[in-house]
């Protein structure tokens, strides 16, 4: 048992912060007690809460973990130029060994910045799952399918299977529900513009039969959204709905150009829109209609997107960007108030992953997915409101401890589950020569 003693706690985005409180982590990895008086217990470890605060572990609801290797590569382009001229050709050279090292680097970065759960979409995803298993985070993982490897249709196995479809099956069979569902597998469609109706229907049916969620990029750029209307006479959300994609809970990354009708579709199907403010600004994709989506009843979560378009996995940057960009874009300082921005990175992210009854807030019986902040810094003083300081002033480097299910993954500069030096060595001596010769 671990007892946090006399500590400030944000239990949830919409509840008042506690001060001088106690939080007990049980041996089962769940929160056993939160309250204002010391619980009657004999903990193995007591952590003083002086100038510290606990917040729910952050949920990064859309990223591509192995893309750490592309940090700083191909700058100054919009999405499609960037993908076609830089990212796709370089990605062709990746292999499982590259992905393994780059994922380790990403996991280290995530836990360093207080992220406890991620929703990931990439290739070589069984390798990502292995690294996540070792790294100790929670994750919803998917291998997205595109039309490029199966232009005339596919089957999941047998003669008409492809490398992608075999990987989807391998990922699902080996990893779905692993470690009491610390790892969950989602179905994946890369995006409307990289796929076809046969693919949407097959992937949706796959998800439905297995009772799993689905992850897709949706209306990220204006051109992608408008070209879809040109092709089908419908928006991406409309055409995907028609082909059954929203019959299962869908995690829709970006939703920058979605319309009021699209929001009705997403809300009616219980889909999540994942806001990626930093990536959207960096690739000049636009400003997602976050307030309109929320008002329409859509669950809005938050993600970094791959660090290739960010360039970091620091969710504190996303929280702040989400909280300020809509104010400026709409000349309205009341938009996306601090609790809403924080909810996107916690409760709403947990909901996006189907984990709302296990994490996203700190409560007795919930998993001890906890991030501790060191408040002993000039930029975090004074503290009129802890939540306001967390949303607008804190940064990832203020995290001093990250815990998933009561297991410490990062503390005070030490990575407990990832060999960061080994990952760096592999990237420098294997991945770099392999990709860039």
Q: For binding to Zn ion (CB under 5 A), which residues are involved?
A: 305
Residue 217: burial class (beta carbons within 10 Å; 0-12, 13-18, 19+) = buried
Please check whether residue 115 is in contact with residue 318, taking contact to mean a CB–CB distance below 8 angstroms. no
Q: How far is the CB of 142 from Zn ion (least distance, A)?
A: 11
List helix spans (H) across 356-419.
Answer: 386-388
List phi, psi (to 5°) of 387.
-65, -40
Q: How far is the CB of 177 from Zn ion (least distance, A)?
A: 25
Q: How far is the CB of 275 from Zn ion (least distance, A)?
A: 12
Strand segments, DSSP code E, in 26-154 are: 31-35, 45-48, 52-56, 58-63, 115-121, 138-142
Residue placing its CB nearer to Zn ion in the complex, 109 or 358:
109
Residue nearest to Zn ion (CB): 305
Residue placing its CB nearer to Zn ion in the complex, 305 or 340:
305
> Rounded distance, CA 31 to CA 162, Å?
44
Residue placing its CB nearer to Zn ion in the complex, 64 or 351:
64
For residue 275, give the H/E element and its range: strand 272-275
Q: What is the dihedral of CA 11, 16, 22, 23, to 10 degrees?
A: -10
Q: How far is the CB of 9 from Zn ion (least distance, A)?
A: 33
Residue 354's closest CA among 407, 435, 299? Answer: 299
Q: Which two tokens stand for residue 192?
A: 């409307």
Q: How far is the CB of 187 from Zn ion (least distance, A)?
A: 16
> Rounded distance, CA 372 to CA 400, Å?
6
Residue placing its CB nearer to Zn ion in the complex, 91 or 305:
305
Pairing type for strands 370-374 and 52-56 reads antiparallel
Q: How far is the CB of 266 from Zn ion (least distance, A)?
A: 17
Please check whether residue 391 is in contact with residue 323, taking contact to mean a CB–CB distance below 8 angstroms. yes
Residue placing its CB nearer to Zn ion in the complex, 305 or 398:
305
Q: How far is the CB of 368 from Zn ion (least distance, A)?
A: 29
Q: How far is the CB of 102 from Zn ion (least distance, A)?
A: 15
Residue placing its CB nearer to Zn ion in the complex, 15 or 78:
78
- The gap between the terminal CA atoms of the chain, to the nearest Å, is 50
Residue 360's closest CA among 418, 299, 276, 414? Answer: 299
Please check whether residue 403 is in contact with residue 26, taking contact to mean a CB–CB distance below 8 angstroms. no
Residue placing its CB nearer to Zn ion in the complex, 30 or 213:
213
Residue placing its CB nearer to Zn ion in the complex, 34 or 67:
67
């Amino acid at each position: 048992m671990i007892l946090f003693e006399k500590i400030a706690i944000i239990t949830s985005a919409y509840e008042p912060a506690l001060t001088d409180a106690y939080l007990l982590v049980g041996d089962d990895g769940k929160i056993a007690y939160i309250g204002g008086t010391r619980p009657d217990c004999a903990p193995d470890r007591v952590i003083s809460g002086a100038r510290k605060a606990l917040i729910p572990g952050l949920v990064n609801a859309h990223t591509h973990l192995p893309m750490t290797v592309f940090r700083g590569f191909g700058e100054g382009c919009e999405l499609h130029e960037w993908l076609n001229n830089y990212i796709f050709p370089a990605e062709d050279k990746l292999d499982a060994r590259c992905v393994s090292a780059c994922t380790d680097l990403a996991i280290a970065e995530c836990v360093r910045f207080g992220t406890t759960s991620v929703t990931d979409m990439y290739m070589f995803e069984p390798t990502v799952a292995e690294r996540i298993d070792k790294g100790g985070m929670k994750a919803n993982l998917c291998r997205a399918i595109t039309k490029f490897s199966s232009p005339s249709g596919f089957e999941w196995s047998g003669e008409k299977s492809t490398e992608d479809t075999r990987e989807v099956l391998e990922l699902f069979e080996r990893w779905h529900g692993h470690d009491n569902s610390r790892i969950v597998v989602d179905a994946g469609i890369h995006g409307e513009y990289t796929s076809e109706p046969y693919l949407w229907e097959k992937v949706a049916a796959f998800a439905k039969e297995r009772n799993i969620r689905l992850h897709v990029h949706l209306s990220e750029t204006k051109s992608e959204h408008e070209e879809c209307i040109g092709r089908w006479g419908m928006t991406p959300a409309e055409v995907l709905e028609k082909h059954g994609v929203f019959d299962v809970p869908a995690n829709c990354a970006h939703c920058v150009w979605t319309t009021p009708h699209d929001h009705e579709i997403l809300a009616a199907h219980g889909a999540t829109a994942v806001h990626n403010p930093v990536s959207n600004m960096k690739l000049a994709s636009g400003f997602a209609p976050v307030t309109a989506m929320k008002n329409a009843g859509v669950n809005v979560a938050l993600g970094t997107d791959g660090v290739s378009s960010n360039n970091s996995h620091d969710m504190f940057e996303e929280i702040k960007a989400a909280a300020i960009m809509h104010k400026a874009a709409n000349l309205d300082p009341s938009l996306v108030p601090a609790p809403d921005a924080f909810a996107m990175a916690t409760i709403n992210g947990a909901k996006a992953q189907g984990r709302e009854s296990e994490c996203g807030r700190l409560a007795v019986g919930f998993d001890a997915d906890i991030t501790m902040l060191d408040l002993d810094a000039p930029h975090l003083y004074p503290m009129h409101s802890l939540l306001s300081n967390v949303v607008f002033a804190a940064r990832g480097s203020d995290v001093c401890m990250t815990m998933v299910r009561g297991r410490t993954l990062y503390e005070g500069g030490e990575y407990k589950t990832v060999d960061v030096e080994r990952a760096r060595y592999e990237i420098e001596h294997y991945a770099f020569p392999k990709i860039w010769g």
